[in-house]
Amino acid sequence: MNVYQLLSTRKPREGCSRPRSWHPARPRGTSLTLALVLTCAAAGAQGGGAIVLGEGTYYLDRNRVFALADAPRSTPAVPSIYEWQQAQARPRHRTVLGLEGTRFTLNGQPQFLLGFSYYGGLGASEEFVRQDLEEAQRLGFNWLRLWATWNAFDHDVSAVGRDGEPREPFFARLVWLVDECDRRGLVVDVTLTRAQDSATGGGLPNFEAHRRAVEALVTALRPHRNWYLDLANERDVRDARYVSNAELATLRKLVRQLDPQRLVTASFGGHDLSLDDVRHALVAIGQDFLSPHRPRHAESPAQTAARTLEVLDLMRQVGRAVPVHHQEPFRRGYSRWEPVAEDFLADLRGALAGGASGWCFHNGSQRNTPDQQPRRSFDLRARRLFDQLDVEERNFVAQAGRTVAEASAAADRAVPPN
């Protein structure tokens, strides 16, 4: 194995005396000195390589960066930093998420996004992730929602810390997971959340940390076109999650400067949208699509079609046409109301009938059981997601893909021939 020690120093920003180590999320503005520390090779062994970057150890393969523990057993020689930076500049996307009016597109073709919550995915093993992705695709799902700031059950798997800086090994796992989904044709929702009162991670306490997190994520994941950014989960709820429209507009501008093509949203929390909500999101902030989190009660599934149509009408009133993405509906284990398979199906059908462009099978911990088991996507360390679903959920996911396919076929038949 060829092992290199990379010593890094960074000229401090004006007014800042704290040096910062080189990191793939922030390759610019860093002076690097590379020293060979050790070279060894065992008879018959494959060549491999690793680099020690500041306090972390990484494996570099083209423009992919892994924690050393995640490096493949057989690895090529380590490229130079110049080669890594050149690779970063080359596009390597295979799955391209786009927009066409009120529809999402994948590789240029209109596509309904059928997804599932995978919040604690950065805590799952690579084997669990691969198995979940394979099963999800077999069932017809094509996107997942992953949090870059997730701390649950005394286990913080956030890709960025409370200061907004990359946090290993989870930042490298995020890069790997997005790349793996890109290779498979899957879309990834990367979500951030503000958490002003958090002292233990799993959220960003202030605007400056939020800005650094956005910069780190967009820079590191820029080569991939299969992901979008939720700037702030349920950002209008007036608690620790709250982020002002002015701050969101500034963060949206930052993303546009770093990556002009990156799609961005900022989700609403627990209510249907008003005209002011739509105007602020699309005009003042500049979101690329709307992500309402509708109310969670037994009447919700029957209301989704009408509420979606209302949002489309509100957009027409402000002169915009973007997708409506039902990113986080109701779930099992949340309240006294336990939705069954038919409730999930009714909500999905309502989203399709109302003209939405995406819907998520939301899942999480069971609040009314000891240790909140099953925890589903909230904790994926010991069991993968699809092994934690109960009978009602498995009944639903077995029908979800077919439901979307049937709705799409019916819509195609309804279009008159030219």
Q: Using one digit for the tens of pLDDT, what is the confidence trace for 94-105? A: 999 999 999 999
- In the predicted model, is pLDDT for residue 407 greater than 50? yes
Q: How far apart are CA 192 and CA 234, in angstroms?
A: 10
Question: What is the reported pLDDT for 38?
Answer: 25
- In the predicted model, is pLDDT for residue 205 greater than 90? yes
Question: What is the reported pLDDT for 36?
Answer: 27
Question: What is the reported pLDDT for 71?
Answer: 40
H/E element holding 156? Answer: strand 155-156
- In the predicted model, is pLDDT for residue 285 greater than 70? yes
Q: Which of 103, 120, 8, 109 is nearest to 58 (CA)?
A: 8
Pairing label, strands 113-117, 109-110: unpaired
pLDDT digits (tens, 9 = 90+) for 273-284: 999 999 999 999
Question: What is the reported pLDDT for 25?
Answer: 64
Our CA dihedral for 72, 88, 230, 328, rounded to 10 degrees, sits at: -40
pLDDT digits (tens, 9 = 90+) for 235-273: 999 999 999 999 999 999 999 999 999 999 999 999 999
- Mean of the per-residue pLDDT values for the chain? 83
Question: What is the reported pLDDT for 91?
Answer: 52
Distances (CA, A) of 231 to 103, 239, 249, 272, 286: 20, 16, 10, 19, 12
Q: How far apart are CA 210 and CA 242, in angstroms?
A: 12
Q: What distance lies between CA 399 and its chain's CA centroid? A: 24
Q: Which of 161, 221, 151 is nearest to 20 (CA)?
A: 161
Return the amino acid letter for 7: L
Q: How far apart are CA 92 and CA 223, in angstroms?
A: 6
- In the predicted model, is pLDDT for residue 110 greater than 60? yes
CATH of 97-414, one of 3.90.470.20, 3.40.190.10, 3.20.20.80, 3.30.420.40: 3.20.20.80
Q: Which residues is 194 bridged to in the sheet?
A: 204
Helix spans in 24-140 (H): 81-89, 126-138
The answer to whether the beta carbons of residues 416 and 408 sit under 8 Å apart is no
pLDDT digits (tens, 9 = 90+) for 298-357: 999 999 999 999 999 999 999 999 999 999 999 999 999 999 999 999 999 999 999 999
Domain boundaries, the chain: 2-89, 97-414
Question: What is the reported pLDDT for 219?
Answer: 97
Mean pLDDT, residues 360-387 taken together: 97
Residue 270 structure tokens: 């627990």
Residue 33 structure tokens: 């000195």
Q: How far apart are CA 236 and CA 267, in angstroms?
A: 8
DSSP secondary-structure letter at 204?
B
Return the amino acid letter for 413: R
Residue 251 structure tokens: 């963060």
